Chain A
Amino acid sequence: MRRPQRRPAPRRRSRIPLRLWRLPGIWASHHLQGAVASLGRLMRTPLPTLMTVAVIGMALALPGGLYALTRNLSLLSTGWEQTAGLSLFLRTDMAEAQAAGLADALRARPEVAEVRLIGPDDALVELREAGAGFADAIGLLGENPLPWVLALQPTADVNAPDALERLREELAGLAEVDLARLDTQWMRRFQAVVDLIRQGVLILGAGLALAVLLVIGNTIRLEIENRRGEIEIMELVGATPAFIRRPFLYAGAWYGLLGGLAAWVLIAVGLLLLQGPVTRLAALYHAQFPLAGLGPLALLALLGGSALLGLLGSWISVNRHLAAIEPH
């Protein structure tokens, strides 16, 4: 068997020893160095940095604040959702026995938790007590015009809006029932308004995200212009494009992250300012309503998203403007 001929060890091409096992460390230290250095550079020019961060913060605070608003509105309405029930207004020719019979039949259904029977006389009394104006009007009526009403409370598992609506439709079809009304109907309209605002937040957010992208892109472009000489010298001594690009990308990410933090502070301050009036308003309804902030998930999304926007903005800028710089 012929032994393969030993080839001479390849001559090392670079005079700087590059050991493979040290590469991950070098890579990490480059990144850490780049991140810290670019933050330091931003801090060395505090006023321009602050202004850029403030612009980004305000642009992000607007959709973020609106999101916090919709979140509070949703929280407000979940309190009501639990009391959602069905009112069945029976035909006026239904007598008490028929009403009671229907109530018993309904109680037997699995989706019904409770049925309360409200007689026309009880309802009239209730109405009379509801307001001073009603008493006189009711006095003018010769006979009680109110029908028997069944107040129906569904079990918890039929509490979803769709299920409730199906139940309502079914019960409205009963011969004894004149009208079946879902108590939550107005609340669903309210929910629709909240959804509308939420959609608006998304559209506004997308528009303002684009604005943030442009602001950061332009800031990085100016930064590249300012450091043109330095970039040329780095290229001259053999810096790779990635090495030159890195601090600018970090700067963009920092701008985004700091802008996101600024937005968070702005939203928090705004909520703090609103808490007083909201507390007074809630007190008028004998209720307490502590305003909710963004919540951890939304905060994470805000900060992560803004940092990513910054990275993307500077990435676009760097790719457009760095390639044009060549050592002369």
Chain B
Amino acid sequence: MIRFEHVTKRYPESGDAIADVSFELAAGEMAFLTGHSGAGKSTLLRLIGLLERPTRGLVTVRGRNLGRLPMRRVPLHRREVGMIFQDHRLLPDRTVFDNVALPLVVSGLGHKEIGRRVRAALDQVGLLRKERSFPVTLSSGEQQRVGIARAVVGRPPLVLADEPTGNLDPDLSREIMGLFERFNQVGVTVLIASHDLALIATLPYRTFTLGAGRLTRDTGPRS
């Protein structure tokens, strides 16, 4: 699903964010990405979501060389990658329903289909009754669940999450991880960047550790 070969990403102002990183994540796997802040976790996810392109090396997602992907193909790639952020990135002036519907609206789906899929996604995250609410009226955990619903509503084969439990208490964090596990069980590949080591330790998934931009540890695929 994802394959990194000697990937380096250098920013002109701050130097190498990740350096010579190689790994492979198979389709249907679920994995964590840990490391201190500034270790390059976000950069790695951004390379997969094509928010950045690598300075050196090869990033391949679903057999597609992202470094060579033409600009006009970028939107289509992003539709196949559901992204979740610590700060949710919701539109404050739109309802929960409209926020979750955005990826489908952008793909040009019909109204009926959008309604059906959005409600299915909201049902999965347990927010079906909040569809008419605005994001500000929701708690942080609920907002994060809206962000997750938006990421999975287009049924992408790959979901990336950047510190999805960063602002949540342990109970809510476990609940969110449970959601990811459920997506993974239906075949979605999931990669979660998190520094919540205590929580990760309780879960039986492959873990990558980044240190100063380099991959320092990889527990390997779950057998």
Contact = CB atoms under 8 A, between A and B. Distances in A.
B80 interface: yes
Interface stretch (A178-186, A233-241, A275-283): A233-241
Contact of A238 (B75, B109, B110): B75
Contacts of A229: 91
B91 A240 contact: no
Interface in A208-231: 229-230
A30 interface: yes
A327 interface: yes
B51 A327 contact: yes
Given A234-B102, A237-B79, A16 B107 contact: yes
B156 A234 contact: no
Interface in A1-27: 13-16, 26
Given A15-B154, A15-B156, A238 B79 contact: yes
Contact of A14 (B49, B80, B83, B104): B80
Most buried by B among A14, A233, A238: A238
B198 interface: no
Interface residues of A, number: 23
Given A15-B155, A230-B91, A237 B78 contact: yes
B213 interface: no
Contacts of B150: 237
B197 interface: no
B12 interface: no
Contacts of B75: 235, 238-241
B51 A30 contact: no
B79 A14 contact: yes
A16 B154 contact: yes
A327 B85 CA distance: 12
Given A16-B104, A16-B107, A238 B78 contact: yes
Contacts of B186: none
B201 interface: no
A190 interface: no
B79 A236 contact: no
Interface in B30-67: 49, 51
Nearest to B103: A237
B108 A26 contact: yes
A241 B76 CA distance: 11
Interface string B88-109: 0111000000000011101111
B78 A236 contact: yes
Contacts of B156: 15
B164 interface: no
A232 B103 CA distance: 13
Contacts of B78: 235-238
B54 to A, nearest CB: 16
Nearest to B83: A236
A286 interface: no
Interface in A229-258: 229-230, 232-241, 243
Given A233-B102, A234-B102, A15 B80 contact: yes
A328 interface: yes
A61 B200 CA distance: 69
Contacts of A234: 102, 106
A29 B109 CA distance: 10
Interface string B104-124: 101111100000000000000
Nearest to B51: A327
Contacts of B110: 26, 29
Interface core residue of A229, A240, A326 (most chain B CB under 10 Å): A240
B23 to A, nearest CB: 24
A235 B106 CA distance: 9
Contacts of A230: 91
A327 B81 CA distance: 14
Q: Which of B83, B102, B110, B156 is most buried by chain A, counting CB atoms within 10 A of its CB? A: B102
A214 to B, nearest CB: 29
A29 B111 CA distance: 10
Among A13, A30, A233, chain B packs the most CB atoms within 10 A around the CB of A233
B91 A233 contact: yes
A16 B91 CA distance: 23
19 contacts: A13-B76, A15-B154, A15-B155, A15-B157, A16-B154, A16-B155, A229-B91, A233-B89, A237-B79, A237-B102, A237-B154, A238-B75, A238-B103, A238-B107, A238-B154, A239-B106, A240-B106, A241-B75, A326-B51
Which 5 pairs, one residue from A and one from B, show the smallest C-beta to C-beta distance?
A238-B79, A238-B78, A237-B103, A239-B106, A26-B108
Given A15-B157, A237-B103, A238-B107, 8 more contacts: A14-B76, A15-B154, A233-B90, A234-B102, A237-B78, A237-B102, A238-B106, A328-B51
